[in-house]
Amino acid sequence: MADVIASPVAPAPQRVTILGVAIDDVTEDEALVCAETLLRSRRPHQICTVNPEFVMEAQRNPAFAATLAAATLCTPDGYGLLLAARFLGTPLRDRVTGVALTRRLAHLAAARGYRLFLLGAAPGVAEMAAAALQTANPGLNVVGCFAGSPAPRHEAFLRQMISAARPDILFVAYGHPRQDLWIARNQPHLRVPLAVGVGGVFDYLAGRVPLAPAWMRRHGLEWLYRLVRQPRRWRRIIDAVPRFTLAVLRQGRA
């Protein structure tokens, strides 16, 4: 775990647009600085951890595209985004993955006394992820864990539960686009300073799903690792790799 703790002030990051989706050109450290600036403001904010699947989903889902456009911060989670941005002549400097951002925010929360709530994943997984974060960050204050459901009919109950816990940071792990749409719908009521969609991060933290080896992550081959480990993801990988690549090539020729 890195020991860098965010400064209270962050300049507005530059944005890179890929297939109509604006992505913030931030490093992990800069994302953390932005996050603490947002936390200190005490106003409600949303962070989206964007990868190629997000970009492709936004092409066919106007509500999701609008959610990404309205988010306070869209981090570049996905090696394919770095390759696409470089090809389009507007390079992104680094990745900020959901796993790394969650760990860094937990470290910041333990140091600053911020309160965390973990929502989503399968029953019991949020609790396991919270325990892992607390082991890595002694003193971390997790004020709630709940699997729940992103279905609109459950939202009133979840809002009541989360509001009663008064978190500063809310991690939502329902997978895109459901988690991001859920945050966009409910933040006006919850007004949590920082709500972050984190996809499958709880499963990684809980040890239920292993991360790809470091050499595969460095070379952008996580998709291949996931395909081998979870063949049922083949439709998502087709969207994230060949379809995304072809769409970026078309944008570059336009």
Spatial CB neighbours of 243, under 8 Å, sequence gap ≥ 6: 56
* CB atoms closer than 10 angstroms to residue 146: 18
Rounded distance between C-alpha atoms, residue 15 and residue 92, angstroms = 9
pLDDT at 230: 63
Rounded distance between C-alpha atoms, residue 47 and residue 56, angstroms = 18
In a 3-state reduction of DSSP, which class is residue 248?
helix
Identify the CA nearest to 197 among candidates 142, 139, 121. Answer: 121
Domains of the chain and CATH, by start: 1-62+73-87+96-249 (3.40.50.2300)
* In contact, 154 and 185? CB cutoff 8 Å: no
Identify the CA nearest to 42 among candidates 8, 90, 85, 81. Answer: 8
Residues in the chain: 254
> Whose structure tokens read 């090696």?
79
pLDDT at 10: 57
Collect the ranges in the chain with pLDDT lower than 70.
1-11, 210, 212, 215-240, 254
In a 3-state reduction of DSSP, which class is residue 245?
helix
User: What residues does 106 pair with on adjacent strands?
Assistant: none
pLDDT at 209: 72
